[in-house]
Amino acid sequence: MRRSNRRGRTGRMEANILHADLDAFYASVEQLLDPALRGKPIAVGGGVVLAASYEARAFGVRGGMPGRRARELCPGLIFVGGHFKDYQRLGDAAIQVLGDFTPVVERISIDEAFADVAGCTHLFGPPAEIATTIRRRVRAELGLPISVGVARTKHLAKIASQVAKPDGLVVVDPRHELEFLHDLPVELMWGVGPVTRERLAGIGVRTIGELARTNGGSLERLLGPAAGEKLNALAWNRDPRKLETQRRARSAGAQSALGRKPAEAKIFVPTLLHLADRVATRLRAKSRPGRTVTVRVRFADLRSVTRSITLDQPISATAMLAEIAEAMVRKVLVDHPHEKTISLLAIAVSHLEKQPALQLELPLGLDDDRRRPGTRKGAARWTADRAIDKIRDRFGWEAVGYASVALGQSRSVPDAFRELAEKEL
């Protein structure tokens, strides 16, 4: 890790943090590869919109939206299948442009990254000049638009890049940070999704300035102590986080947007097994099992319910993870009997351990022996998973898998797209 800011001659902190974000990345790549698509409303995907161009967004088309709904909003919408290898290649190349200016780069997704340029201004000029050069190079060398925000903190730099979109540059003067920040809508903040935005709107909070001036106790009652305190600090631009150039993921997760499907076992059981398969495979590949399993269920009205459980021993077996997740989802549905439709399911595993010591257990014949990694049944499941991993490593992901997934689920989101979004452990 590196300290993200330095003091100038006046003693105040300088705006040295850049947040670079490729604009409508997947759709922009498709328009780059096929010039006939430029200026037209396009969407990557089919059954579900994976990404939309700005021309499509003008009609209200958004990522995660069912394809049928997208076509209703934009009758002239053009769907394309997606060129996943090109996404990875061009995303890597864009991040490398940042690396040509500074080694302090924190990549947070395939198409965005932070960069600390405090140590290279004597070589390349002020941060704003560096950002301008980065944007020019990405456009000239890769043919892609990229927006950059420059600020004193990570949170403010990310907001600045959003304000700069599409294809722009915003530099926030440290002397006028709150003037810039407080007039903006709360949904630009990290951690404010549709549900939180609606909750805040319910108490009359729509701008970041209104959030900053809201009583802390009110926020904590509305959002919980941790979220309320964090958002209040960010609303005042109090963000002490430093760039992490070799950040190790603290969790592994996967999610599946279902559109609007019945809250029935024939829907959620194979979906959870597929998600568990993706997550557990990554855990085993890095030898990093985890203790805490979290599931998220989103209903038709976009309201989400999250449940977590912390286990005695870390797990990385697919079937164990799927069964634990299934039990939690069933409990969620029992607790919400009036919810009949699911729009999204997600699984995450956290509290990852590096090379844990496996505690073997006596064969006591307990009901949950199959979910305990130290039992004979638990060890057999892990061994079977490792055999599957070896086959997939040699012949590809589709060579072998769980029958209930293959027979029970039609995946509208390609696995190649999911892999692009998964963090490296």
pLDDT tens-digit profile of 256-299? 878 788 999 999 999 999 999 999 998 988 888 998 999 999 99
5, part of any domain: no
**Nearest alpha carbon to residue 270 among 376, 410, 60, 387:** 410
Assess whether 229 and 274 both reside in one domain: no
Cis, bond preceding 166 (omega within 30 deg of 0)? yes
Q: Is the pLDDT at 172 greater than 70, yes or no?
A: yes
- The catalytic residue among 14, 55, 106, 112 is 112
Shared domain check, 256 and 160: no
CATH number at residue 222: 1.10.150.20
Q: Where a domain ends, among 171, 187, 217? A: 171
Would you say residue 336 lies in a domain? yes
Do 263 and 403 share a domain, yes or no?
yes
Confidence of residue 187 (pLDDT cuts 50, 70, 90): very high
- pTM of the full structure: 0.72
Known catalytic membership, residue 422: no
Is the same domain home to 227 and 312?
Answer: no
- Kindly state whether residues 327 and 307 are assigned to the same domain: yes
Q: Could you write out the DSSP letters of every residue in 30-64?
A: HHHH-GGGTTS-EEEESSBEEEE-HHHHTTT--TT
* CATH number for the domain harbouring residue 324: 3.30.1490.100
Mean pLDDT of the chain: 85
CATH number, domain with residue 30: 3.40.1170.60
Residue 260 in domain? yes
277 and 319 fall within a common domain? yes
pLDDT band of residue 1 (cuts 50, 70, 90) is very low
In a domain, 36, yes or no: yes
Is the same domain home to 185 and 165?
no
Q: Are residues 133 and 204 in the same domain?
A: no
Q: Is 116 annotated as a binding residue?
A: no
Are 397 and 298 in the same domain?
yes
**Are 268 and 417 within one domain?**
yes
Q: What's the gap between Cα 118 and its chain centre?
A: 28
Residue 413: inside a domain, yes or no?
A: yes
Residue 86, annotated ligand binder? Answer: no
- Which stretches within 215-264 are classed as H helix? 216-223, 225-235
285 in the same domain as 187: no
**Does residue 322 form part of some domain?**
yes
Which secondary structure element, helix H or strand E, spans residue 237, and what is its range? none
pLDDT digits (tens, 9 = 90+) for 100-158: 999 999 998 889 999 999 999 999 999 999 999 999 999 999 999 999 999 999 999 99
Model confidence at 376, pLDDT cuts 50, 70, 90, reads: low
Structural domains counted in the chain:
3
- Does 365 reside within a domain? yes
In a domain, 131, yes or no: yes
Q: Are residues 207 and 151 in the same domain?
A: no
- pLDDT band at residue 81, thresholds of 50, 70 and 90? confident
Q: Which domain holds residue 416?
A: 251-421
